[in-house]
Structure 1
Amino acid sequence: MHSDRYMPRRVVVTGLGAITPLGVGNSRLWEGLLAGRSGIRPLTGPEFADHPVRIAGTVPVDPAELLPKPQARRMNRAALLAVTAAREAWRDAGFVASGTRGSGLDPERVGVSVGTIIGGAAVLVAGDRRLRAKGARAVPPLTAPMTVPSQAASQISIDLGITGEARTVVSACASGTEAIGQAIDRIRYGHVDIVLAGGAEAAVTPEVMAAFSAMRALSARNDAPEAASRPFAKDRDGFVNSEGAGLLVLESEEHARARGARIYCEAAGWGLSADAHHMAAPDPTGGGIAAALRRALADARAGAADVTHINAHATATVEGDLAEAAGLSTVFGDADGAVPVPVTALKGSLGHLQGGAGGVEAVVTALTLHHGIIPPTKGCDDLDDAIPLDVVTTFARPLPTRGDLALSNSFGFGGHNAVLALRRR
């Protein structure tokens, strides 16, 4: 047992990796956001032909082609995305491509923490179809291990030789952010020194699209996919379902400095809360959101005045955006409720990556602090009058010099609220 187990250590971000509808790699993600590009596309497959919503944010490559075939065929799509992003983050942190093997790292002091929601549901659906068509013997033998949500974390562990721990968080659309928060604590209190943390999701399937359509939660702008996701806008009409993965390498500061690592920012704290309100709708008062924001600030030993930027959850649903604005106004608003902190919402370009959203948005928040630039919110051409936020639109904006903390928000069905606090160095 390490003597510093109960002495909190400072945690820093040393590596970033992403695969999103804007392309493969965090550079494609960052450049696409700054340019105001969209990764939302028509769904042209025959399985979507009779769907009321036929647009989604899809990764523009086949992730199975990015890994060796014998390895790829044992993974569900979410795991393929997760491993691809994890490999980039690992290399970006300065570690060897072979993972912990031959790196000089103790694999037992390295962990994985991944948030997801559905895992390999598409694999289970395919197995069910084979069962009904051809009988039990036709179901592939790896159907069960390829279905479980924990496959993304386990496949990263296998790929990089990580034996410390492989954790999975399932808390609706807050999953990726909560996975990062849990990783911060595992490093803080000495359980491990390094964690690959983030989120991954691949749920653009006919079944999921039909389910969200039945809820009337999706934007139905089939004729204008690139303009369909409109966070905070007056004319927003629902979110756009998307896929992707974002992973960060988190590391104790002393470990990072001892090896001369490049540090993007500090992973300063995180906060959780639960609305206890409704299975599918947020608390309209934003009370639970405000609680998570305050807990993240307290965990980072900071106050509202220390916040220089907020990366909003902002799915572009009418109720969700209003609830988030209410929570932000409660914590950061002036006497009139207006929030002076610049806010951006990435789902205008990316759509909603579900359990992967928190990971990708944390990657972008780290890049925002590192480069000192706030990406614009695509789709918010006419801000809702009921949303008292300073939303960055049209063009990127320099990060204010006041304050040193950036927040990344994630909120999910059932009232799951998670907020990550990153501090610039």
Structure 2
Amino acid sequence: MQALPIIVGFGGYNAAGRSSSHQAFRRIVIESLSEYQQEQTIVGLACLMKLVSWDGELYVDAENKQCTPKQVVEAFGNLVLKGTLIRRLEDSLFDPKKIYGHKRIKIEPQNGEAVVFRLAKKDIPASIPEHWNITYLDEAFCEVSIKGAADFLVPTYSEQAAKAAGQLPSGFDPAAQYSSRFHPRGLQLALLGASDALASIGIPWDKIAASIRPDEVGVYCTSIMGQVTKEGLGGLLQARLLGERATSKHYAMGLNTMPADFVNAYVIGSVGHTAAITGACASFLYVLQAAIQDIRSGRRRVAIVGSAEAGLTPEIMEGFTSMGALGTDINLCKLDSSKTPNWRKASRPFGENCGFTIGEATQYIVLMDDALAIDLAADVHGAVSDVFINADGIKRSISAPGAGNYVSFSKAVASAIAIVGESTVRKHSFIHAHGSSTPANRVTESRIFDRVAEAFSIKDWPITAAKAFVGHSLAAASGDQLAFALGTFKYDILPGIKTVDKIADDVAQKRLFFPLQDMDLVNRKMDVAFVNSKGFGGNNATAVVLSPRKVENMLSARYGSVMADYQSRREETRQAAKNYAEKADKGNIPVVYRFGEALVQEQDIDISCDGIHMPGHKQDVIFDKLNPWADMD
């Protein structure tokens, strides 16, 4: 029997808010919620966005006036809605109308005369150009004379072509949540996302760690771009050109492995397994596959899986714009025959579109094998039974879609049918599409879904796309999809693709259904979600996600009478998770950052021929002495 990788906790942040307790999901379907749920969502976001705070009894606004939840909604509801989801990039990150750069100019002297200017001695270049003639005027200044033409770089500003972004909620600053010590924004997000996911479990991490051996936990996290803000690789690459010095932290902080390394070092203090695998925009599913394979095989019992990406920088946005991948303001106006771009609806999966909208996000889930989940009375938010990854083969363009997604998606559907049966997949499954909002994607991805639906006799297959609400968060994108899929299981609502007025004519729709408004699933409970992701270079991945209801049925079949005791003990776990959600909704967001704590003293590590005892860990590392190739000896 293989272990079932169960989702026992999840958390993170994107343009819709906090992932744990489904806050972000509630934001994207807010029109379809009850009045109480709408109030809960808006008030929680208002606290996250620092519009109000909790004083222990009531909410307090910036003028120190006390507010009831209803008063918060009345006063700040519109600001919350406007300050979340995709919108114009806010100046809190950078001004998209004023991007700093340099313009190369060539100065030609008139009538053969020299170009002469005054310069402070401290500003003289270390390597003086050959055509410079320097005359020292005094101890502080000199005169520079240049004969002939001269090239100069002049500081200037330009305007960014694409200004729409899936930015974190207005007023929410990750750096202000803990002592961030000049961490790049992407690593700030990693700490926040992992902390949120771990707190959402409802079981203290120390208790979990004490229940397993040190090497039975794995951290599987990554980013695509690394940390390209000035605190990371951006600062390293720009320093010399800006006349500054690179620091000792620029390179180390910039690596794309850091989201995993920070969780190991500063959140859980792990000496267990670690993996940082990248697959372009499918990277979250790449690390997820590694995690579930380790859990299914028994090599790992707990896995922390995630991605963190802070891609809202001028350089990254300019790079994607140069590729023609981002939806620019000009092209948005052309689509709408308007003089003003509709930034709110910039991302239009499967509709008439002109490119994707970049976003930032951090998404983490915590997986346990089913036996440990039962033993610790962990809650069940779903399970990931498998992830399939396939390349595109020979390509004409490295960024173009290809054949590999036919393989990954078809295998995922076949796998789900083997687990839950044909009827469940045909009637009770949905697709969280990659849905990047590019003309090529809407055609190719819909064609894949339609052909697979025909092969497996599926009709009216519901499809949604997270990027319509939060944009494309690069490595974390399929994490956004997974978090929203869990929301559908919880609330029986499939988010409609509400940024689209009409599905494009070239989208395959024979066996597919693209709801443009939220879809009520109360009478059609969903038990399977297919999370599909595509990435530059031919990185295709599809995950099979099972609903909590289906997982509990599977656990009952495996554990029988034990389930009653498990369900009774689980109430304490759920209450602890609820307590955390209530605190987080009031703006109390604990971030685990274990910097400066006592280190493991190497001389205290006890090594024997049977295993290793690590100080601070209840259980030992046990050596596996079985020869897997004994029959070949």
TM-score when scaled to structure 2?
Answer: 0.61
Q: Using the TM superposition, name which of 236-245 and 18-27 deviates more.
A: 18-27
* Alignment partner, residue 431 of structure 2: 310
Kindly indicate whether residue 127 of structure 2 is the aligned counterpart of residue 10 of structure 1. no
Cα distance in 2 between the residues matched to 1:105 and 1:229: 45
Change (3 A) 1:103 1:179: closer
User: Once the two structures are superposed, what CA deviation does each residue of 1:180-234 show, in whole Å capped at 9, x if it has no partner?
Assistant: 121111111111111111222111111111111111111123732111111111x
Kindly indicate whether residue 500 of structure 2 is the aligned counterpart of residue 380 of structure 1. yes
CA contact (8 A) 2:226 2:233 kept: no
User: Once the two structures are superposed, what CA deviation does each residue of 1:145-170 show, in whole Å capped at 9, x if it has no partner?
Assistant: 11100000111112122221221111
CA contact (8 A) 1:243 1:352 kept: yes
Q: Using the TM superposition, name which of 38-47 and 243-252 deviates more.
A: 38-47
Kindly indicate whether residue 461 of structure 2 is the aligned counterpart of residue 332 of structure 1. no
* Alignment partner, residue 242 of structure 1: 359
Change (3 A) 1:304 1:247: farther
Equivalent position SS for 2:188: helix
Equivalent position SS for 1:229: coil
Letter in 1 for 2:283: S
Change (3 A) 1:210 1:92: same
* Alignment partner, residue 3 of structure 1: none
* Alignment partner, residue 356 of structure 1: 476
Equivalent residue for 2:210, pick from 90, 94, 104:
104
Change (3 A) 1:386 1:66: same
Kindly indicate whether residue 287 of structure 2 is the aligned counterpart of residue 179 of structure 1. yes
CA contact (8 A) 1:288 1:327 kept: no
CA contact (8 A) 1:314 1:345 kept: yes
CA-based RMSD: 2.3
Equivalent position SS for 1:208: helix
List aligned pairs for 1:223-242, cutoff 5 A. 223-233=341-351, 235-242=352-359
User: Once the two structures are superposed, what CA deviation does each residue of 1:342-371 show, in whole Å capped at 9, x if it has no partner?
Assistant: 111111111111111011211111222233
Alignment gaps of 5+ in structure 2: 32-80, 101-157, 333-339, 550-633
Cα distance in 1 between the residues matched to 2:295 and 2:536: 29
C-alpha deviation, 1:68, in angstroms = 2.3
Q: Using the TM superposition, name which of 349-358 and 399-408 deviates more.
A: 399-408
Equivalent position SS for 2:304: strand
Cα distance in 1 between the residues matched to 2:188 and 2:268: 14
C-alpha deviation, 1:396, in angstroms = 3.7
* Alignment partner, residue 161 of structure 2: 52
CA contact (8 A) 2:492 2:525 kept: no
Cα distance in 1 between the residues matched to 2:302 and 2:365: 10
Q: Using the TM superposition, name which of 169-178 and 270-279 deviates more.
A: 270-279
* Alignment partner, residue 405 of structure 1: 528
Kindly indicate whether residue 134 of structure 2 is the aligned counterpart of residue 88 of structure 1. no
* Alignment partner, residue 62 of structure 2: none
Letter in 1 for 2:191: V
C-alpha deviation, 1:304, in angstroms = 6.1
Cα distance in 1 between the residues matched to 2:523 and 2:7: 21
List aligned pairs for 1:118-157, cutoff 5 A. 118-122=225-229, 123-134=232-243, 138-157=245-264
Equivalent residue for 1:202, pick from 284, 293, 310:
310
* Alignment partner, residue 538 of structure 2: 415
Change (3 A) 1:209 1:201: same
Equivalent position SS for 1:363: helix
* Alignment partner, residue 293 of structure 1: 409
List aligned pairs for 1:59-70, cutoff 5 A. 59-60=168-169, 61-70=172-181
Cα distance in 2 between the residues matched to 1:399 and 1:248: 26
Equivalent residue for 2:517, pick from 391, 394, 408:
394
Kindly indicate whether residue 24 of structure 2 is the aligned counterpart of residue 29 of structure 1. yes
Q: Using the TM superposition, name which of 16-25 and 390-399 deviates more.
A: 390-399
C-alpha deviation, 1:299, in angstroms = 4.2
C-alpha deviation, 1:131, in angstroms = 2.6
CA contact (8 A) 1:272 1:296 kept: no
Letter in 2 for 1:28: Q
Letter in 2 for 1:295: K
Cα distance in 2 between the residues matched to 1:150 and 1:112: 11
CA contact (8 A) 1:164 1:192 kept: no
Equivalent position SS for 1:121: coil
* Alignment partner, residue 162 of structure 1: 270
C-alpha deviation, 1:15, in angstroms = 0.5
C-alpha deviation, 1:121, in angstroms = 2.3
Equivalent position SS for 2:437: coil
User: Once the two structures are superposed, what CA deviation does each residue of 1:376-405 show, in whole Å capped at 9, x if it has no partner?
Assistant: 223121011232130122224216647732
* Alignment partner, residue 270 of structure 1: 387
Alignment gaps of 5+ in structure 1: 1-6
User: Once the two structures are superposed, what CA deviation does each residue of 1:324-354 show, in whole Å capped at 9, x if it has no partner?
Assistant: 101111111389x985111111111111111
Cα distance in 1 between the residues matched to 2:261 and 2:207: 16
Letter in 1 for 2:99: E
TM-score when scaled to structure 1?
Answer: 0.89
Kindly indicate whether residue 86 of structure 2 is the aligned counterpart of residue 40 of structure 1. yes
C-alpha deviation, 1:255, in angstroms = 0.5
Equivalent position SS for 2:499: coil
C-alpha deviation, 1:57, in angstroms = 1.1
C-alpha deviation, 1:94, in angstroms = 1.9
Letter in 2 for 1:231: P
C-alpha deviation, 1:306, in angstroms = 3.5
Moved beyond 6 Å, runs of 4+? none
CA contact (8 A) 2:301 2:369 kept: yes
Letter in 1 for 2:410: R
C-alpha deviation, 1:422, in angstroms = 0.8
Kindly indicate whether residue 440 of structure 2 is the aligned counterpart of residue 323 of structure 1. no
Change (3 A) 1:304 1:393: farther
